[in-house]
Structure formats: C-alpha cells, structure tokens
Amino acid sequence: MTSLASFAHARGIALTDPELIPTFTANAGEQLAAALNDDALLHGTRTERLFEAMEPNFEMIRKGTACGEG
C-alpha cells in the first residue's frame, strides 16, 4: 500500500482514481521485466543472498566457535 500511495503521489493520481491500480501494475510489470533482464542485477542479488546465508557462519568464526569449538 505504501508503494502504491508513493506512486500515486509522485504522479499526482488520486488514490480513488479507478485507473490507479492498472497504471501501477503496468509500471511495476515493466520495471520487473527490466530487472529480470539485467544480468548484473541478478548476479548481485544472488551474491547478496549468498552472504546473508553465510553470515551466521562468519559470526561463529568471529567468536571462535567454528567447526564444533566451544
């Protein structure tokens, strides 16, 4: 809802305008299609998720509890 309200405000569209939802979804679809065709963005997103998944292990290493220690 926040994204929809921000979209409407930026374009001067009333939240009660019946064309708001079709306009918003068309815009979102275009942006998603462009993002899915951006190899660098997809690679970066995968890399970010990889590091997020590894973060607990980094914390264990930092505390010295890796590989069953302590």
Check residue 24 and give its pLDDT. Answer: 97
Q: How far apart are CA 19 and CA 27, in angstroms?
A: 12
Read off the pLDDT of residues 5-62 as tens digits, 9 standing for 90 and up. 999 999 999 999 999 999 999 999 999 999 999 999 999 999 999 999 998 888 888 7
- 51 lies in some domain: yes
From the list 41, 16, 40, the residue with the least C-alpha distance to 4 is 16
Residue 45 lies in a domain: yes
Q: Is residue 53 domain-resident?
A: yes
Write down the pTM of the prediction: 0.57
How many structural domains comprise the chain? 1
- Per DSSP, 66 falls in state G
23 part of a folded domain: no
Residue 46 CA from chain centroid, whole number = 11
* C-beta neighbour count of 22 within 10 angstroms: 10
Query: How far is it, in rounded angstroms, from Cα 38 to Cα 36?
Result: 6
Q: Domain for residue 43, yes or no?
A: yes
- Please report whether residue 26 resides in a domain: no
Amino acid identity at 13: I
